[in-house]
Amino acid sequence: MRFQDAAKDARAVVYAGIQADPLVARLAALAADASYPERLMARAVMNGESDDPATWRAIFPTVLGPGVPRREHAEALLAASLEVAGRGEQVRSQVRGAFVEELTEVLVGRRFGAAGRPAIRRERRVLFDGVAAEIHPYDLTVEVPARAEAWDCKWGARGINADVLNQLDDARRHAAEEESTLRVGLAVFDLRTSCAIRLAQQTAPRQGTVIVTLETLDALGGRKAG
């Protein structure tokens, strides 16, 4: 099993610009330190229509109300989420996707510490002897011997489909055939119930794939959901 950079096609070049947007990193840093209610608020705002922060403060009194602990952090997350919502529809979707990837990287990075950070890579392929390479790279890989991981990141449960599940499971199986270990998973910035419903409608193998949802994102960093 070995890892390789994905070829840079035109789409990848454009998307790299989105990934490098400072808003993506700022939002991910805020979301990484957020609670489940704060993350739910961020998801709602980034999918919302209203650009008035007062509307969101009314909808989320337990997150943004007066006297709420960590309100300053929640307000910063609200402001960054509103910036995403303010982008045009297509860019908004791209930024949200890049955000989930960045958030996953930040959280996984916590589990491996500073020394392991260089082994956490983006947009990489996983190659196996005698097996044709997959077209699509993985959003995030951890390239640590005996602890390798491959993650796909999704804004919503609708992103879970047969292609994604098959690719992850194929990689896991091919690694096992080479007597290597590759942990595979999906990090989904959506609710567990929605992911469960989506998975229930898929026939692709998923038993060996870890699913991390909005409620359990902290598990990426090695912590139980708070």
Partner 1 sequence: MDRAAAERRRYASVVPETPSNLTPELPAVPTTRAEALSTALAALDALAELGETIEDEWSYVTALAEAGRARIRSATGPASSAALEPDRGVAVAAACAEVARITDPHRAIDWLSTFPAVVELALAIEPETAAPRPPASGGSTPPTGA
Binding site for partner 1 (CB under 8 A): 36-37, 40, 43-44, 47-50, 52, 54-55, 57-63, 65, 108, 111, 156-158, 185, 190-202, 206, 210-213, 215-216, 219-220, 222, 224-225
What's the closest the beta carbon of residue 110 comes to partner 1, in angstroms? Answer: 11
For partner 1, give the closer residue by CB, 123 or 190: 190
Q: For the chain, list the strands marked E by DSSP.
A: 2-5, 120-127, 138-142, 148-154, 182-188, 209-212
| Structure letter (DSSP) for residue 215 | T
For partner 1, give the closer residue by CB, 119 or 127: 119
What's the closest the beta carbon of residue 217 comes to partner 1, in angstroms? Answer: 9
List, as one string, the DSSP characters of 124-148: EEEE-TTSPPPSSPEEEEE--TTSE
Write down how long the chain is.
226
> Phi-psi category of 132—alpha, beta or left, where left has phi over 0 and alpha has psi -120 to 50?
beta
Q: What is the bridge-based pairing of β-strands 148-154 and 138-142?
A: antiparallel
What's the closest the beta carbon of residue 58 comes to partner 1, in angstroms? Answer: 4
For partner 1, give the closer residue by CB, 67 or 145: 67
What's the closest the beta carbon of residue 23 comes to partner 1, in angstroms? Answer: 20
What's the closest the beta carbon of residue 96 comes to partner 1, in angstroms? Answer: 10
For partner 1, give the closer residue by CB, 83 or 149: 149
For partner 1, give the closer residue by CB, 27 or 220: 220
**Which residues 6+ apart lie within 8 Å of 124 measured at CB?**
3, 4, 5, 6, 137, 138, 141, 143
What's the closest the beta carbon of residue 208 comes to partner 1, in angstroms? Answer: 9
For partner 1, give the closer residue by CB, 29 or 59: 59
What's the closest the beta carbon of residue 170 comes to partner 1, in angstroms? Answer: 19
For partner 1, give the closer residue by CB, 17 or 226: 226
Contacts 24+ apart (CB under 8 A), 13-17: 15/94, 15/98
Q: What tokens were used for 155?
A: 């804004």
Q: What tokens were used for 65?
A: 């109300």
| Structure letter (DSSP) for residue 157 | G
